[in-house]
Structure 1
C-alpha cells in the first residue's frame, strides 16, 4: 500500500494520492484535487492503522504525517510515527527487549523528541515513558552484547586453560581443582630415581674394579690353589694354602703396587661418573621449572580473566533483568494512558 488506497476519487474511481506540501489529495488519473478536509480525520487514522497491521509502514507514516499537518498534537498520529520509527506496531511490543537491537536510535529519538515537543501536556508523560523505555532498551542491548561477548571469551579462556592444566577429575581426585600439567614435580622425581639407580651402578662397578686382588688377605698363588676339597677326619674341608715363599711374597707385593698404581684414579673417576649426570639432570629440571613458571603465569592470568568474565556476565544479566522489569512497568503505565485516549 504505497498510497492511501482507501481514498477513492469520486469522479473516476481512481486511487487518490496525498500531496502533503499542498495539503490536498490529487487524483493521478483525472487530475481532480480535493482539500484534505474533504475526508474525515478518523478515516486517515484508520487508514494508517490498517497499513501498520499490513506491515506497510511507509504508507502508514505518510498517513500519520498527513494527520499531523492538520493536527500537530494529535496523540494517535504522534504515537504512530514513534512506533513506526521503532519498527513496532503496538505499545505492547515495547516490553520485548530483543526488538531494540534493530532500532535506529537517531530516527526513533527524533520522532519521540517531536512527540514530546508537540503533544498535549496531559499526554506528554506517555512519550516520556516511551523515551525511557527506548533508553532502557539501548542499555539492555549493550548489556546483552557485552554478556554474549564475555560468554564467548569465557569459553575461549576455559579451552585455553585446558592446554596447561589437568583437572582433578582426570587425576581421580575430588573437587573442582586442577594441577598445572608442566609441574616440575614429576620431572624432579624421575631425575632423582634415575640418579639413585646410576649411583648404585657406579658404586657396584667401583667396588668391583677398585678391589685389589693382590691384597695379602685375598692373594693366593695359582700354584698353591686347591682345586677341590679333601676328605679329612670324617668330613670334606678346604685345605689351608701354604704360606707364601719369599719369592711369591715379592711377586705379590709387586703386583699389588702395580694394580694400585693402575687404579689410583678410580675414586676420582667414580666421583666424576656420579657428578656428570647431575648437569643434564639439572638442566632438564631447570627447563621444566622455567616452563612451569611460564605456564603458571598464563594460568593465573586466565584464572583472573575467567573470574572477571563471570562477574561481568552476572552483572549484565542482572542489569538486563532489571531493565526488562522497568520496561514492563513502563508499558503498563503507557497502556493506561493511551486506553482512554484511543477510545474517544
Structure 2
C-alpha cells in the first residue's frame, strides 16, 4: 500500500514514470532498512518540490563518456533518485569493461538515502560508492554558521550467499531530516548534535536549525573534513554548486529557483583485481572473523555495517513499516 500511495502522490505532483518509480524505490529502501528520516516520509516534500517547479518533473538525462573509465551525466534538475540509479548503473557498465567506473552527476537534486545507490551497485556484483553534496546545514568544526551539507558517504560490497556489506553515513552528527522526523514525533534530540540559528546548542527539534559535524565537540574536524571530501567529489569534480552556494530545496518558501547539486558514483569490479573467486573467499573470511570478534559482554554480537539494517528489514517485512502521523495523513493512511 505504501508503494502505491507514494507513486500516486508523485504522479499527481507531475513526476514522470521514471522519476516517480525511482524515487519510491529509494524511499522504500530507506523505510525497509529503518532509515525513516529518508524514507517514505519524504513523499510530501518531493511532491511539493515538483509542484513549485523547483524540481523538474520531466527531466531528460544527458550521459556522455569522457574516458575509458569515466563519464558525466546531466540530470536536468530532476529528482535525484532517478539520476543516481542511472549513474550507478552506468558506472557498473563501465567497470565491466575497465575494472573501475566513475560517473559524475551534475544539475541534480536531493536523492534521499545514499545507501540505496551503493546497494544497487553491490547487487550488480561491484564494490560501489555513492556521494552527494547538499545545501548548507552543517557548521564547520567550532563554527556557528551553516557551511557544508549533510554530505553522505555510502559504500557497499557484494558478499556471496549473504546480504551485502553496507555502510551509509552522513558526515554530520545526524541528518537534517532527523530533526523534521523528531518534530513530527514530538521527541527531544540527542545532546550535542544540533544548534539553534545563533549557533547555541539545543535539543529542541523546533529550535534546531544547524547541525554539528560528525565527531562532536572534540573531534568534529573529522566529520568536517569528510564533508569537504564529499563536496570535492560531488560538486567540484562534477561542476555543480558547492554547498554554501546551493539554493535550499525548500518548497515551503515558494522559491521556484532550481535546486542544483551533484553526485558521484564509483563501481569497482573485483574480477579485475584479485578475481571473483579470490574476492568471494576473502570477503567471506573477513566478515566471519569480524562477527566472531569478542564483544564487551558475552552476549554482545559484533555487527558488520548493514547487519542492523538487514535485521530491521526482516522485522519490518513481518510487522510492517511504521509511518509518522504527518506522513500517514498526507498519504491518506488515516
**Normalising by structure 2, what TM-score?**
0.24
Higher share of residues assigned strand: 2
Higher share of residues assigned helix: 1
Bigger Rg, which one: 1
